Structure 1
Amino acid sequence: MTWNKEGGPRIAFVGTGAQGASIGADFALAGLDVTFIEQWPEHVMAIRENGITVNLPTRTINVKVPALHLCQVAEIREPFDLVFLIVKAYDTKWACQLIEPCLAPDGLVVGLQNGMTHDDIAAIVGRERTIGAVIEIASNMFVPGVTNRQNDHDTSWFALGALDPKTQERVESVAELLRNPGTVEVTDDIRSAKWMKLVVNAAELIPSAIPNLPLADAARAPGMLEVMREAGYEAMRAALADGAKVVPIIGMPPVTTNHPDRYVDQIFEEVLKTFSQSDTLTTSLQDWRKGRRAEVQEVNGWVVDTLRKHGQSAPVNQRVMDVAFEIEKGKLQARPENSKLLIEAYEAVADRQ
């Protein structure tokens, strides 16, 4: 692919929190033309004054990057060839509407997000300008201008795939850029890959946030590993009911088992082993600790709604949703004692099996 701009594409990162900022910093260090577009005013100011700092497991990097606040998007005159969208799944539609006037006619939007956001992106910018993506990186940000990334390049993983077959030939050019921060696989079935990531997200994100524990601690808590696996099993059933295939993600070998539940276990084990540390907090727990809502409906709710459409139920994911919404309403606090609320739902399922 030949970019319109001599020397490479003009790139925007829309959403430069923990994930977006660390990936964008790698792009900037590679000499690419990158602009950050962000909704946190203090973060924008910190980047302008001190650059973006990324603390990695064994090193720290800092780089200067142009940073714009959302209110400055209307001032953009030169369109972007490539936009990496790294906002919460529930912010996808408005973020795409915001940036679409600044996207080149043949520009592409890459949704580096949790959830099945690719269709929302396509509804705004068009399927021919949409690239779906899967991301596996653990990071956190609590101080403006500073992100803490727990995966260096060797354990950062992405998958990319176009929605429109005519766009698929352009994906490799985007993948080559994204290899600056990690390993990238190109797939012609991004929908199935995103479902596989949603399967593991359903198991880990909210279930570990409800007891207010790091992911590894939640998985070790009595009864919780069974809860988390069952949430993943339900998500896998939803994926298959929706027409997705069981495909390898996060660098795992080709699928050799005909047992979908066993593959859920394998994905979950790989995330715990390779892509998280002892103190890793899921993005959902970070959201709650910041007073923000998490992607409950977009992950566990997606499982519940999908299975309902096919005449099936997802009792564990439903219970995860119910408890999570009680926490977000302030009627419950996220704390270890909440584990029993989820374990009760799992035990009711186990008794029926």
Structure 2
Amino acid sequence: MKIAVLGAGALGCAIGGTLAEAGNDVVLINRSQAHVDAIWAGGLRMRGPDGERRVAVRAEVDCSALGPVELLIVLVKSFHTQQAIAGAASLVGPDTVVLSLQNGLGHEDILAEAVGRERVIAGKTYVGGVMLAPGHIISGTVGKETLIGELDGSASPRVQRIADTFEAAGLRTTVSTRIMGTIWDKLLINVATGAVSGITGLPYGPLYAIPEIEATAVAAVQEAMDVARASGVQISYTDPKAPWTKAAAGLPDDFKTSMLQSLEKGSITEIDFINGAVVRWGQRCGVATPVNATLVTCIKGVEQARQARRAPNDQETKT
């Protein structure tokens, strides 16, 4: 299958590299010239449980000269979705399927507006990746499931073909006929820990030791569950504490959420597509979401404060 990965960071390289190794025609697209140059020079270095290997795969910074692909996998940060898909128009042809495997909720609407809803399928993946250096990643694919599905819940041949392609490459993949429920199940886990970790600056060990934080997290999850049900979304959870518990399962005490990692790097977060998505959906269906709205406000404040602190240092560096 001819595949492009838009936003080929650590996770995109883990998935794209695995697909390329299985014989698919893959191009990795990333804004980092150093990352792309390293892949061209020596292949994509992928470290896994069985050691390290180099995978020959194409990489590009600019995709404007590339032709249409059969599958466009979108893995850019949520807040870059609109800009990224606009810049990837050359990759979308009459038969292209656009698959979002991003965190959070709402990317499918942005992609649908750009390429047409009929082209878009959604999914969630538990595959992991860590960037060690340009062109060098840790790939966590073994035993990690990916779920994909049509937005209307149908079991279409095109989704099954994509799942078969992933499976043939060793990426465990399931076709879901309730993909929005699957997305919300993962969203509940992100709602439980991302914002409270980002606001407090705490990794999982101390985060889970404070009863007041747990109470706030569980309240945020309860709001999200209420919104999902009011919106007609079938979620798997019945107990709001379950996503809070599952979020930390098997992870070390020093584990940091992606939201906390983004803040520590001085980057903006994906809050608008996590707790912010709960607030927006709540407004549509008439469900109040004061806890999630407060968490969004606090994260916005933390973002601003961290960026303000970085500005003088940036200026000093420039001079």
TM-score tier by shorter-chain length is: 0.7 to 0.9
From 43, 46, 54, the counterpart of 2:38: 46
Q: Does 1:15 align with 2:4?
A: no
TM-score, normalised on structure 1?
0.79
CA distance in 2, matches of 1:296, 1:99: 24
Q: Is the 8 A contact 1:112 1:133 kept in 2?
A: yes
Q: CA deviation at 1:113?
A: 0.5
TM-score normalised according to structure 2 size = 0.86
Report what 1:56 is aligned to. 48
> Displacement of 1:136 after TM fit?
2.1
Aligned identity (percent) is 29
1:9-28: CA deviation from partner (whole Å, max 9, x where unpaired): 21100001121111111112
The question of whether the paired residues in 2 share the 8 Å contact of 1:88 and 1:113 is answered with: yes
Shift of 1:300: 0.7
| 1:158 alignment partner, one of 146, 149, 157 | 146
Query: Structure 1 205/54 Cα, relative in aligned 2: closer, same or farther at 3 Å?
Result: farther
2:161 to 165, 173, 176: 173
Tell me, yes or no, if structure 1 residue 113 matches structure 2 residue 113.
Answer: no
Do the aligned residues in 2 keep the contact of 1:127 with 1:164 (CA within 8 Å)? no
Matched with 1:325 is 300
Cα distance change of structure 1 residues 277 and 83 upon mapping to structure 2, 3 Å threshold: farther
The 1-side partners of 2:295 and 2:280 are apart by: 14
In structure 1, which of residues 291, 305, 308 is the aligned counterpart of residue 266 of structure 2? 291
C-alpha change, 1:139 and 1:208, in structure 2 (3 Å) is farther
Tell me which amino acid in the other structure corresponds to 2:95.
D
Cα separation, partners in 2 of 1:286 and 1:138, compared to 1, 3 Å: farther
Aligned equivalents of 1:58 and 1:265: distance in 2?
Answer: 36
Please tell me whether residue 313 in structure 1 is matched to residue 288 in structure 2.
yes
- Can you list the C-alpha shifts for 1:74-130, whole angstroms capped at 9, x where unaligned? 221x32111110011222222222223322311101101112211221221122211
Change (3 A) 1:225 1:39: same
Alignment size in residue pairs: 307
Q: Distance in 1 between matches of 2:222 and 2:97?
A: 34
1:187 CA drift (Å) = 1.2
**Structure 1 SS opposite 2:208:** helix
Displacement of 1:265 in angstroms is 3.0
Aligned to 1:238: 227
How far off its partner does 1:132 sit? 0.6
Q: Is there any run of 5+ residues in structure 1 with no aligned partner, and where?
A: 1-8, 248-254, 335-353
- Please report the RMSD computed on the Cα atoms of aligned residues, expressed in angstroms: 2.5
Letter in 1 for 2:33: P
Task: Return 5+ residue gaps in structure 2 as ranges.
Answer: 310-319
Paired AA for residue 232 in structure 1: V
